[in-house]
Amino acid sequence: MSSPESFAGADARLNEEALAYHELPSPGKTGIEIKKPARTQRDLSLAYTPGVAEPVRRIDADPDAAYRYTNKGNLVAVITDGSAVLGLGKVGALASKPVMEGKAVLFKHFADIDVFDIEVHAKHPQEFIETVRRIAPTFGGINLEDIAAPHCFEIEQILIDELDIPVFHDDQHGTAIIIAAGLLNALELQDKRLEDARIAVLGAGAAGVAAIRLLITLGAHRGNIFAVDRQGVIHTGRRDLNPFKFGIAADTDKRTLADAMDDADVFIGVSGPDLVSEQMLASMAPRPVVFALSNPVPEIRPEVARQVRDDMILATGRSDYPNQVNNVLGFPFIFRGALDVRASRINEDMQIAAVHALRDLTHEPVPQSVLDAYGLEHLEHGPDYIIPKPFDPRLRRAVAPAVARAAVASGVARIPYPEDA
């Protein structure tokens, strides 16, 4: 079992490496690439004045021409107010910038999407909404990031309603999509069905609420889902619930996390370290599925969990254990699909398409390049492989087309998927 001290020692080494990585040889992780020649006077006359006037006139006459003559169609804003940054909390806009730059790296590396990271000093949700609204014409999509609940729900919904480009809060829907894909595979292996599963969810912020909503859409029974926050089970008798928590409240006499986990088929943790006891895990139903996703320390440590249950399937948010639930499996390719058909939004149909694309990919033979990347000799669908690996090169060609075609089929695409045109 890993001790707190071993986690701390590893973290100290990683911290020093991370500081050097971010500072050297020049500060930051991203820059701007010029895609057109700029070597001669002729080049400059085309890039700027007088040549630039003609694409301006074309866009003025037809706004959709911006997708032809500018980078709008492949440019996403990763934007935050710094109110809920990773496990660090409300660190503010400026301190959140390394995370937003990191997100830009992932977009570019995995899906070849360009990103401007934007950190907004906003005391109130309306200030943030107004900022995004005003800068939206620049972009083909908006990725909201690290915004605290419950404001994140309001912010996203208003922007979805008002803008004509995809607005996606990855901490909500990205996490929910990866959880759902892994959970469907895990339940299949445990010979259980989502429709029948009793589910305990610890954490009722952005990820927890979105996961519950998506699982219900996929067939989970609302009466079988018990969400737990700092005050206990979220039930219909509580008077301290905001509208978003009330929407997932259960009509139940369960009051504690222990109550919620008793005889549960599934535990999903999106909360904090070491909150699940051995007794709680032991009380779950036979063949349980445990998603302990708190990072870096899970709700129950895998070494402890395996001593208690030998019949469970376990996932974490860490890369050094099997079954890492990692948002990078989703958001780059979801946006790639949306941008490829100029979607006006990322709707429920597109999210469900991503879930099934990820789920199905895990059933296919694993390429040698994935085995090499993770130092493995063999990997196949099973208890230690319920979700694809982040460095699987098939993710883009599996998820992005599924999302794009769902956008076309659901009527939010402006153009056909290129391969189907």
Q: Which residues of 362-397 are buried (b: 16+ CB within 10 A; e: fewer)?
A: beeebeeebeeeeeeeebebebebbbbbbebeebbe
**Tokens encoding 83:** 């109110």
DSSP one-letter code for 101:
H
Give DSSP secondary structure letters for 346-410.
Answer: --HHHHHHHHHHHHHHTTSPPPHHHHHHTT-S---SBTTBSS--TT-TTHHHHHHHHHHHHHHHT
- Which residue reads 């006499």 in tokens? 253
Spatial separation of the C-alpha atoms in residues 277 and 360, rounded to whole Å: 33
Q: Which residues of 134-152 are buried (b: 16+ CB within 10 A; e: fewer)?
A: eebebbbbbbbbbbbbbbb
| The one catalytic residue among 72, 97, 103, 245 | 103
Closest CA to 150 of 269, 234, 225, 243: 243
Active-site residue flag, 417: no
Under a CB-based contact definition with an 8 Å cutoff, are residues 224 and 201 in contact? no
Q: What is the largest CA-CA distance in the chain?
A: 76
Residue 291's H or E segment, with its range, is strand 289-292
Closest CA to 116 of 92, 91, 142, 96: 142
Closest CA to 209 of 254, 157, 141: 157
Under a CB-based contact definition with an 8 Å cutoff, are residues 198 and 263 in contact? yes
Burial class (CB in 10 A: 0-12, 13-18, 19+), 102: middle
| The one catalytic residue among 21, 48, 69, 90 | 48
**Tokens encoding 206:** 């952005």
Which long-range CB contacts under 8 A does 60-64 form with residues at least 24 apart? 64/414
Residue type, 200: A
Active-site residue flag, 321: no
Beta strands in 128-283 (DSSP E): 141-144, 167-169, 199-202, 225-229, 232-233, 266-269
Question: Angle of helix 206-218 relative to helix 175-189, nearest 10 degrees?
Answer: 50
Beta strands in 174-278 (DSSP E): 199-202, 225-229, 232-233, 266-269
Report the catalytic residues. 48, 103
